[in-house]
Structure 1
Amino acid sequence: MTVIIDTHLAGKLIAEQCPQWADLPVSPVATSGWDNRTFHLGDEMLIRLPSSADYAGQVSKEQQWLAHLAAELSVRIPAPLAAGKPSEIYPLPWSVYGWIPGETAAAHPPADKIQFARDLAHFLNEFHNIDAGGGPSAGLHNFYRGGDLAVYDSETRHALTQLSTQTHCALLEKIWEKGLDSHWTAPPVWVHGDISAGNLLTADNRLQAVIDFGQLGTGDPACDFVMAWTFFDAQSRRVFFDALQTDDATRERAMAWALWKALIVSINPHNTNVTEAQQAERTLEHIIADS
């Protein structure tokens, strides 16, 4: 059945499964994500409903692991408050979380990117050092974030042939192949899987919180470093990697992850919005300039 995910549905689900909050107003957030439709519940909570069955598995994963991770981090992450069950009006699991105030770095980029690079590196160092034993290995559930880049080899090579300009294709292919040539050989670490400006909340130009752990998994941390090219400039990129103290091979895989995403967006601009398409072009420019 086709389900329209709107405030009416969200309110009905709360009334049915969380009646203690049934009197609270439900309203859409200013910007909802792709994987989930998100609504305010009163002033201090959020309702998150997966937009399709493809993302339903994220609910139990976040419910199981976020509290464990939060206890080890100095930066805030979402706190699950209730787990909704599939029902006749909505066939997927869903969640209620605490509301974290702040603006995203996408909507309000911090003025001091050097400090923000240090803040993000500090979070990632903490996050990647949390014991990952028992955590979900990279796979289809998180679109292989933390897994082997080879999963996206055919897609990337096809994208390279479709670029509107072929000027830098040889260089970009070399960058991709460098990423493929190395592998994470240390024990798996926690991977957020979608470290992007839209998932980082700021306050007073500092990192306030990291949200949206739907791509959570364990494996190679390289995919968590893509903001080096999607967001930071040359100077803040150097500060970012200096603070991470990662090796060259991991940095090369990180660049390859950033390249893959930028390529598939660039060749399919009709599947995204103008902002995302422009960011993909800038990312390619940053990768080329950094090579």
Structure 2
Amino acid sequence: MTMHADQLHVDAPTVRRLVHAQFPHWRGLPVVELRTPATVNAIFRIGEDLTARFPLVGDDPVQVRAALQAEAEAARELSGTSCVPVPEPVAIGAPGPGYPLPWSVQTWLPGHDGTVEDPAGSDAFALDLARLIAALRAQDTRGRRFSGSGRGGHLPDHDPWLETCFRHSEDVLDVRLLREVWTQLRTLPVVDPDAMCHGDLIPPNVLVDGGRLVGVLDGGGYGPADPALDLVSAWHLLDVPRRELLRDALGCGDVQWARGMAWAFQQAMGLVWYYRDTNPTMSRWGRRTLDRIVDAWPLDTTKALPAGAVEGL
């Protein structure tokens, strides 16, 4: 079952032909499809040291190639900053028989993603995560500001998407309660300047081994954003004591912490209904994140807010 209405199909024989035709020095290496909860790319392992990522949605090869090049540049910048390994960009492939878009090749990193090895109860993982987020935040934005349309900017910009999510979730979630949560979260003011963020610290993008953070995937979104954005990881990945450990290690203020909850809420609301049938792993951890947020609600942010302060309506 496909996840997206316009999803492209790609399989191991097709990837093998593309690799052999465009990168003959990799001929003879085995090509194996990886079964992951990934939603943006189909992922194949090439030999022992490489992975190929094939976008699942797209119709303009020029735009897709430009996006892959931008992602590779961001990943290289992240690699120079991160305190844990990050896949290194290796090559960009071209469209070919059986697949109509450019595709990318990266180095392979060992470890289990956070949907396979759950780090929720690991003190060491929580502190590893705090060190990573702190290391990213410490980097100079070089004057750059958040300029995207996704998470990381203005919370009320996401009202139309949340309304779509509420409408599609009536039969699976307590939408009345969740609307109340968003009504309050969306008014949280901006209190911090943009900082460098990974942008998507979710279970499929962290590698875990023995309760430690051993790698970070999908670094193509690394860039300036609301520093609370990387706090989605607290709600997606950690239980209550470990969330407090992360918060204390980072020294998060009340509003920043609550904005991290808001970004996690915005993301999780879309996961539950959209992937309910097509990607149950994504749907389940989206529901788990919402459960954690509801259990923690309401956070006391009032003492940190100016009277009547809202981000926007």
Normalised to the residue count of structure 1, the TM-score between the two structures is: 0.86
Offset of 1:130 from its aligned partner? Answer: 2.0
The answer as to 2:249 corresponding to 1:240 is no
Q: Distance in 1 between matches of 2:7 and 2:187?
A: 44
Alpha-carbon deviation of 1:134?
6.9
* 2:202 equivalent to 1:196: yes
Q: C-alpha separation between the residues in 1 aligned to 2:175 and 2:33?
A: 42
State whether residues 179 and 254 of structure 1, in contact with CA within 8 Å, keep that contact through their aligned partners in structure 2: no
Is 1:224 aligned to 2:233, yes or no?
no
Q: 1:26 corresponds to which letter in structure 2? A: V
Q: How does 1:1-291 map to 2 (within 5 A)?
A: 4-31=9-36, 33-53=38-58, 56=64, 58-87=67-96, 89-110=98-119, 112-133=121-142, 137-140=146-149, 144-157=150-163, 159-160=165-166, 163-164=170-171, 169=176, 172-184=178-190, 186-268=192-274, 270-291=276-297
| Corresponding residue for residue 300 of structure 2 | none
Q: Which moved more, 1:179-188 or 1:29-38?
A: 179-188
Post-superposition Cα deviations, 1:81-136, rounded to whole Å, max 9, x if no partner, equal: 11223346533221111110111121012374222111111111111222233768
Q: How far apart, CA to CA, are the structure 1 residues paired with 2:223 and 2:283? A: 27
Partners of 1:60 and 1:166 lie apart in 2 by 39
Unaligned runs of 5+ in 1: none
* 8 A Cα contact 1:119 1:206, kept in partner: yes
Letter in 2 for 1:113: S
Judge which range, 79-88 or 22-31, deviates more: 79-88
Kindly tell me: are residues 205 and 2 of structure 1, through their superposed partners in 2, closer, same or farther at Cα, counting changes over 3 Å?
closer
Q: CA deviation at 1:288?
A: 1.8
Following superposition, the deviation at residue 221 of structure 1 comes to: 2.5
Distance 1:43 1:277 in 2: 31
Specify whether residues 117 and 17 from structure 1 end up closer, same or farther in structure 2 by C-alpha distance, changes over 3 A only: same
- Give, in whole Å, the separation in 2 of the partners of 1:166 and 1:14: 44
Secondary structure at 1:195 match in 2 = coil
SS of 1:223's equivalent in the other structure is helix
Q: Closer, same or farther in 2 for the Cα pair 1:271/1:216, shift >3 Å?
A: farther
Counterpart Cα distance in 1 of 2:93 and 2:275: 35
CA 1:274/1:137 → structure 2, altered by over 3 Å: closer, same or farther?
same
> Matched residues in 2 for 1:290 and 1:270: separation?
24
- Over 3 Å counting, the alpha-carbon distance change for 1:199 and 1:213 in structure 2 is same
Count of aligned pairs: 287
Q: For 1:68 and 1:158, how far apart are their aligned partners in 2?
A: 35
User: What's the secondary structure of 2:85's corresponding residue?
Assistant: coil
Structure 2: gaps of 5 or more residues:
1-5, 298-313
Q: In the alignment, residue 40 of structure 1 is paired with which amino acid?
A: R
For 1:68 and 1:194, the matched residues in 2 are separated by 16
One-letter code aligned to 1:121? A
- Specify the SS of the correspondent of 1:53: coil
Residues 93/165 of structure 1: CA separation in 2 closer, same or farther (3 Å cut): closer
Cα drift, residue 249 of structure 1: 1.5
